[in-house]
Amino acid sequence: MLERHGSYEETARRFAWRVPARYNIGVDVCDRHAHDAGRIALLWEEDGRLRTFSFAEIRALSNRLANLLGAHGIARGDRLAVLLPQCPETALAHVAGFKAGLITVPLFALFGEEALEYRLADSGARVLVTDTAGWAKVAPLRARLPNLCLVLCTDGGPAGTTDLHRALERASDRFDPVDTAADDPAVIIYTSGTTGNPKGALHAHRVLPGHLPGVELPHEFFPQPGDLFWTPADWAWIGGLFDVLMPAWHHGIPVLAKRFAKFDPERAVDLMARHGVRNVFLPPTALKLIRQAGVAGTGLRLRTLASGGETLGGELQDWGRSVLGLPINEFYGQTECNLVVGNAAGLMPIRPGSMGRAIPGHRVGIVDAEGNELPDGTVGSIAVRRPDPVMFLGYWNKPEATAAKFAGDWLVTGDLGRRDPDGYLWYVGRDDDVITSGGYRIGPGEVEECLMRHPAVALAAVVGVPDPIRTEIVKAYVVLRKGHAPSPALASEIQDFVRTRLAAHEYPRQVAFVDELPMTTTGKIMRRVLRQQAAAGEA
């Protein structure tokens, strides 16, 4: 969809959306490639074995699953929940759901019972595709989920479930996909805010073409001959499902599936080297863990490396070039409106610390509370102008929350940032993460980036804690690199390091050394947990 025209400005000026009125994600990412029987869609590594799936096989299997669902009375508009890690059945469930006109609901395999019960009940899911580990969590909840009428299990058929693969053998591999409009609902992806229950962001089928420019630009005009995509990000996250799997399959490019139970830097780099991965999405936490482990990039054949979800900063950029051998193209978005800002080192200079510029096709601005655009250099809310094909339809069953997400025609992300005169956007922090100290407003990102440049620091997070004089003071939670031990002297050294490089009002007046930082399943630091710990007086 995105064509290169010499410069960013010309590329953006000449871009035009091409989203057909009638469009179905499942047909787009699978059926239209299936005429080539040998075209590989998926490489799945599990227990030391590698299995490949062609697009033709994915079409046949997803057709069988769509027919199986129909035979059980699952009808257009019903919700199909998918509780699985990266594996072939995860992709099959989504493709089949899309082709059958269902609304899929991706769920993290690491979710506990409370998280699963809320999402399954709120979405009214009628069918669940999972494995025995997932079923063990859901089985105790079954009586409280009256809408759930079918559970398909990928690795057997324990009581209360249907053996997926045995059932597929009896289903026809011929299926006529439902004729869907681009604006018809396709997927609910739950997103957690700082307060209240998670909200289900309902997206239409057009969400995939809406994602394409935001994948193609950071991956240097993806696809190119020989490209192969992988990410450690779970396919239950929008970053795994719609930043990698679905865009790659739209272009007929194979995806490597391998999800480690816990991210292992050495094994991740070895995996990419062995399979000749060319394109990778590594969340910032994964990059930091690779750097912390001191893993060399020897043997890698990466063409592109993109990252998003947390701000990177200049230090990680320098490390990426020197160790991994290529720039890290940072991108930005959120579940409700994803991949709207990004970098592409081959098209425009990367400015360390900046998220990049608006992806062609998206209008991104900095606005005030009323939706008025602010001048360049002014800190305000990062917002996206509607209409936009990647923008959500609304929160599932929450019209008031949907309305509150907008200021006029601007979708307000809840993130603070600023734009420079050249159009580069700079992340400051979440609305509720900004620290007010002595009359200054301090974004945690800049302080954390500075902390990460200290040779003893592996990971860092910064929050504001109440102070009777300054309203709040900056407190840093620091995970040390191997070979460094916590001490008052090291804390003082870290404080001086920040004070001399940023400003006296921004340095952390408190430093707590911790073994790990609380993170979401998508690798984002949970600063609210740290604030709660600080308020409770916990180390």
pLDDT digits (tens, 9 = 90+) for 492-522: 999 999 888 777 778 999 999 999 999 876 6
Contact between 175 and 99 under an 8 Å Cβ cutoff? The reply is yes
d(CA 297, CA 299): 6
Instruction: Report if residue 244 sits inside a domain.
Output: no
Give the pLDDT of residue 187.
Answer: 98
Contact between 366 and 417 under an 8 Å Cβ cutoff? The reply is yes
Q: Of 39-48, 172-181, 515-524, which range is least confident?
A: 515-524
Does an H or E element contain 128, and which? Answer: strand 127-130
Q: Of 388-397, 411-420, 470-479, which range is least confident?
A: 470-479
d(CA 151, CA 136): 12
Give the pLDDT of residue 144.
Answer: 95
CA dihedral over 503, 509, 512, 516, signed as positive or negative: negative
Where in the sequence is the domain holding 469, given as residue range(s)? 433-536
Residues 332 and 437 in one domain: no
**Final residue belonging to a domain, choices 376, 410, 429:** 429
CATH of the domain at 482: 3.30.300.30
Residues 90 and 194 in one domain: yes
Flag whether pLDDT at 10 surpasses 90.
yes
Residues 329 and 228 in one domain: yes
Most confident range, picked from 115-124, 191-200, 201-210: 201-210
d(CA 67, CA 471): 61
Instruction: Report if residue 303 sits inside a domain.
Output: yes
CATH of the domain at 270: 3.40.50.12780
Residues 160 and 109 in one domain: yes
Tokens 């865009």, located at residue = 247
d(CA 533, CA 527): 10
Question: Please, what is the Cα angle at 521 between 517 and 525, to 5 degrees?
Answer: 35
Flag whether pLDDT at 196 surpasses 70.
no
**CA distances (Å), 264 to each of 109, 111, 434, in order?**
18, 20, 32
SS3 call for 536: helix
CA dihedral over 517, 521, 522, 527, signed as positive or negative: negative
Residues 216 and 199 in one domain: no
Question: What is the average per-residue pLDDT within 190-207?
Answer: 82
Q: What is the CA radius of gyration of the chain?
A: 23
The DSSP line for 195-243 is SSS-EEEEEETTHHHHHHHHHHTTTTSS--TT--EE-SS-TTSHHHIII
Q: What is the mean pLDDT of the chain?
A: 92
Flag whether pLDDT at 538 surpasses 60.
no
Instruction: Report if residue 321 sits inside a domain.
Output: yes
Note the residue count of the chain.
Answer: 539
Question: What is the average per-residue pLDDT within 237-248?
Answer: 96
State phi, psi for 457 to the nearest 5 degrees: -100, 125
Instruction: Report if residue 240 sits inside a domain.
Output: no
SS3 call for 511: strand
Residues 308 and 383 in one domain: yes
State the virtual CA torsion across 330, 20, 241, 396 in degrees, nearest 10. Answer: 110
Tokens 């592409």, located at residue = 344
Kindly give, in sequence order, each residue whose CB lies less than 8 Å from that of residue 261, ignoring residues fewer than 6 positions away: none
Residues 371 and 280 in one domain: yes
Instruction: Report if residue 172 sits inside a domain.
Output: yes
Q: Which amino acid is at 26?
A: G
Give the pLDDT of residue 193.
Answer: 55
Q: Of 115-129, 356-370, 386-400, 504-518, which range is least confident?
A: 504-518
Instruction: Report if residue 4 sits inside a domain.
Output: no
**Final residue belonging to a domain, choices 166, 188, 205:** 205
Q: Which amino acid is at 147?
A: N
Give the pLDDT of residue 539.
Answer: 44
pLDDT digits 0-9 by tens, 519-537: 876 677 888 899 888 887 7
Give the pLDDT of residue 261.
Answer: 80
Residues 127 and 222 in one domain: no
| Number of domains, the chain | 3
Most confident range, picked from 163-172, 186-195, 256-265, 291-300: 163-172
**Final residue belonging to a domain, choices 400, 429, 458:** 429
Residues 358 and 389 in one domain: yes
The two structure tokens encoding residue 190: 């739950």
The two structure tokens encoding residue 156: 């057997």
pLDDT band (50, 70, 90) for residue 194: very low
Question: Please, what is the Cα angle at 273 between 269 and 279, to 5 degrees?
Answer: 85
State phi, psi for 281 to the nearest 5 degrees: -110, 110
Residues 378 and 438 in one domain: no
Q: 428 or 86: whose pLDDT is higher? A: 86
Give the pLDDT of residue 505.
Answer: 76
d(CA 364, CA 337): 11
Tokens 């008025």, located at residue = 372
- What percent of the chain shows pLDDT beyond 90? 76
Instruction: Report if residue 126 sits inside a domain.
Output: yes
Kindly give, in sequence order, each residue whose CB lies less than 8 Å from that of residue 170, ignoring residues fewer than 6 positions away: none
pLDDT digits 0-9 by tens, 413-444: 988 999 999 999 998 877 777 787 765 667 78
Residues 410 and 320 in one domain: yes
Give the pLDDT of residue 499.
Answer: 85
Instruction: Report if residue 272 sits inside a domain.
Output: yes
Closest CA to 233 of 153, 331, 322, 136: 331
Flag whether pLDDT at 104 surpasses 70.
yes
Kindly give, in sequence order, each residue whose CB lies less than 8 Å from that of residue 161, ignoring residues fewer than 6 positions away: 135, 151, 152, 153
Closest CA to 129 of 97, 171, 100, 99: 97
Residues 267 and 341 in one domain: yes
